[in-house]
A and B are shown apart, each in its own frame.
Chain A
Amino acid sequence: MRFLPLIWSNILRKKARSVLTLLSILVAFLLYGYLCAVERALDQGVSLAGADRLLVRHRVSIGQVLPQSYLRRIAGIPGVRHVSHATWFGGIYRDPKNFFAQMAVMPEQYLHIYPEYLLPEAQREAWFRTRTGAIVGRRTAERFGWKVGDRIPLQATVWPKKGGEFHWEFDIVGIYDAADPGTDTTNFLLHYDYLDETRQYGRGLVGWYMVRVRDPKAAADVARRIDEEFRNAPTETKSETEGAFLAGWARQIGDITAIIAGILSAVFFTILLVAWNTMAQSVRERTEEWGVMKSMGFSNERVMMLVLGESCFLAVLGGCLGLATAWVMISRGDPTGGALPMFYFPRRDVFSGIAWALGLGLAAGILPAAEAMRLQIAEALRRT
């Protein structure tokens, strides 16, 4: 600790060089932080999917609908704890750019299946009561500045009203929060009953079923039983755990993750060379000074620690500034305007970023430090 001012003075020796090195490290860690958030956002659904939840969809495609009458039959299958359904509404709020998911659901059942959606009691009740009522996640509410009591117009793309009108309006009766940072708080949830009674066609059809099983370990068995139940029915089903459902999505994401890892490796390698070069130059131009310091009693090990201290200080300072900048940019929210609903900077990645910075400092400093350590005093002083 007592050597910190000395280390700092030496970093200030060539201000321009230190600032440039610091900036390159900063940019590298800004990129690191940002890409971590992107990767996490892509990865989110997969890692946080409830292991006790099944999605039951049309055997052929998620875009196809299922009869509402399946609800009762699924509920009767052994191992099923709760079942409900959801239907994609797909409305546009003012501009197609303002994308967010809207689903028509059975409010009470839905909240049983997704306990991670937190809603004050009064708002729950209000939602259950109000036919045109909808709840919306905190992020989307903040994005558009919506408050409870607002009336939101949506332009239908899938479901026109009876009489062919495409203009729908919903009353915001609640704003939900997430029990954990991985939960999506961008959804807009409306009453299925209201949709079903008001839409021109498609009566009695739903998008998919969500099932919560009694025992997560038996989820695959329950899925098989459900599909068995509807074998040879006019509409066959395909049931899978939420995790498996998202796994297809995840495989594509896997490629993106590999690209991100590749980019980051290249960036870190470059930055290592930059920092190393800075340290090597800085150590070499101080040959006599190391000699003088050793002559007054600084041991070889201490000199080595001072060099490493300098490079780690530079790397961690640059790294922290970069991570902080990334934090600020990330907390401004999803850069795609809706495609990455869970865009945040996980704490875990912040800490591993700092660890990377420290590792960078050590790697960049180790050879110059060894060189300074090996310097013979008499030799170093003769170079005057």
Chain B
Amino acid sequence: MSAVLGTSGERALVCVRGVDKVFRRGDEVLRILHGLDLEVGRGEFLALMGPSGSGKSTLLNLIGGLDRPTRGEIMIGGERIDRLADRKLAEWRGRHVGLVFQFYNLLPVLSAQRNVELPLLLTPLARARRRRQAAIALSMVGLSHRVNHYPRQLSGGEQQRVGIARAIVTDPTLLLCDEPTGDLDRKSGDEILGLLQALNRDHGKTIIMVTHDPHASARATRVVHLDKGQLSAEATA
């Protein structure tokens, strides 16, 4: 239990308590998470593993405020996000969460630069400031030479770097990555993992990463397993 609840003594940034998530598909009732508890401390790099269909993405969505638990509490940075109204929750996501997806999910009609700038449109920043901030984020992922390229002109690894730049451009509290290397070859995947590790180590970003790949989870500071709706610490940790 202590492994699941996180490093002792540290005040948890993410605090999930007694969460149930039930999906209804027609008459079928799917209980994906039940009574799930998790704490993640500030500055952790947590890898979330588990078999396909075990609910890893579902849990990540709950923590990112993209979906709501059927029961239980989700507290992040001291705020009960499961209780926020839709509009407040959207605002909260904009300020506190950066998301990285397996298939990058960049907007094909926007250049790398403008994809990264997109979340900043919701801030009061003026155009020049937005551009500068996007340029900084792109340089942090090593893509300063590709700012005007469109997603279809970039390799998978490069697209994922743009995805990471977009996730960090608002300087969020929490970086959530759902199989960020799942669609990449080993070399590009390693580069992405190195980047996440650096963000965690050098910039103190708290990261939760879903992965199937033991090679990837090895880069994390802690690994948890999700199975049958419950979490357990890595057996070999």
> Could you list which residues of chain A lie within 8 angstroms of chain B, going by C-beta atoms?
2-3, 5-6, 9-10, 12-13, 288-289, 292-302, 376-378, 381, 384
Residue in contact with B105 in the complex, picked from A3, A5, A292, A376, CB distance below 8 Å: A292
15 A-B pairs besides A289-B107, A297-B90 with CB distance below 8 A are A2-B127, A6-B110, A10-B109, A288-B105, A292-B105, A295-B66, A295-B93, A296-B93, A296-B94, A297-B95, A298-B122, A299-B87, A376-B67, A377-B61, A377-B66
- Residues of B within 8 Å of A289, CB to CB, are 105, 107
Interface centre among B92, B97, B114, B121 (most CB of A within 10 A): B121
- Residues of B within 8 Å of A288, CB to CB, are 105
Closest to B167 in A: A296
- Residues of A within 8 Å of B86, CB to CB, are 299-300
Closest 5 CB pairs of A and B: A297-B94, A299-B90, A378-B67, A377-B66, A9-B109
Interface centre among A9, A289, A297, A302 (most CB of B within 10 A): A297
Interface centre among B90, B110, B114 (most CB of A within 10 A): B90
- Check A378 against B105 for contact (C-beta < 8 Å): no
8 interchain pairs, CB-CB under 8 A? A6-B118, A6-B121, A10-B109, A12-B109, A295-B93, A296-B119, A301-B87, A378-B58
- Residues of A within 8 Å of B107, CB to CB, are 9, 289, 292
Q: A12-B109, A377-B67, A378-B61 are in contact. Are A293 and B118 (CB under 8 A)?
A: yes
- Residues of B within 8 Å of A294, CB to CB, are 66, 90
Interface centre among A13, A299, A300 (most CB of B within 10 A): A299
**Residues in B88-104 with C-beta less than 8 Å from chain A:** 90-95, 97-99, 101-103
Residue count of chain B within 8 Å CB distance of chain A: 31
- Residues of B within 8 Å of A298, CB to CB, are 90, 94, 122
Q: How far is B62's CA from A378's CA once the two chains are assembled, in angstroms?
A: 9
Interface centre among A295, A377, A378, A384 (most CB of B within 10 A): A295
Interface centre among A294, A296, A300 (most CB of B within 10 A): A296
Closest to B94 in A: A297
The minimal Cβ–Cβ distance linking A283 to chain B, given in whole angstroms, is 14
- Residues of A within 8 Å of B61, CB to CB, are 377-378, 381
B43 interface residue (CB < 8 Å to A): no
Q: How far is B91's CA from A160's CA once the two chains are assembled, in angstroms?
A: 87
| Interface SS majority for chain B | helix
Q: How far is B92's CA from A9's CA once the two chains are assembled, in angstroms?
A: 27
Q: A9-B110, A293-B118 are in contact. Are A378 and B94 (CB under 8 A)?
A: no
- Residues of A within 8 Å of B180, CB to CB, are none
- Check B103 against A384 for contact (C-beta < 8 Å): yes
B64 interface residue (CB < 8 Å to A): yes
Q: How far is B119's CA from A3's CA once the two chains are assembled, in angstroms?
A: 11
- Residues of B within 8 Å of A300, CB to CB, are 86-87, 90
- Residues of A within 8 Å of B67, CB to CB, are 376-378
The minimal Cβ–Cβ distance linking A318 to chain B, given in whole angstroms, is 20
Q: A297-B95, A300-B90, A384-B103 are in contact. Are A2 and B121 (CB under 8 A)?
A: yes
- Check B109 against A297 for contact (C-beta < 8 Å): no
- Check B99 against A296 for contact (C-beta < 8 Å): yes
- Check B101 against A381 for contact (C-beta < 8 Å): yes
Q: How far is B110's CA from A9's CA once the two chains are assembled, in angstroms?
A: 7
Complex interface bits, B99-135 against A, C-beta within 8 A gives 1, otherwise 0 = 1011101011110001000110110000100000000
- Check B118 against A296 for contact (C-beta < 8 Å): yes
- Residues of B within 8 Å of A5, CB to CB, are 114
- Residues of B within 8 Å of A377, CB to CB, are 61, 66-67
Q: How far is B94's CA from A5's CA once the two chains are assembled, in angstroms?
A: 20
Q: How far is B64's CA from A127's CA once the two chains are assembled, in angstroms?
A: 87
The minimal Cβ–Cβ distance linking A129 to chain B, given in whole angstroms, is 69
- Residues of B within 8 Å of A301, CB to CB, are 87
Q: How far is B110's CA from A140's CA once the two chains are assembled, in angstroms?
A: 55
The minimal Cβ–Cβ distance linking B19 to chain A, given in whole angstroms, is 15
The minimal Cβ–Cβ distance linking B165 to chain A, given in whole angstroms, is 13
Closest to A11 in B: B109
Closest to B66 in A: A377
Interface centre among A3, A9, A376 (most CB of B within 10 A): A9
**Residues in B43-98 with C-beta less than 8 Å from chain A:** 58, 61, 64, 66-67, 86-87, 90-95, 97-98
- Check A9 against B114 for contact (C-beta < 8 Å): yes
Closest to A379 in B: B67
Q: How far is B103's CA from A381's CA once the two chains are assembled, in angstroms?
A: 10
The minimal Cβ–Cβ distance linking B225 to chain A, given in whole angstroms, is 22
Closest to A293 in B: B118
- Check A3 against B121 for contact (C-beta < 8 Å): yes
The minimal Cβ–Cβ distance linking A297 to chain B, given in whole angstroms, is 2
- Residues of B within 8 Å of A381, CB to CB, are 61, 66, 101, 105
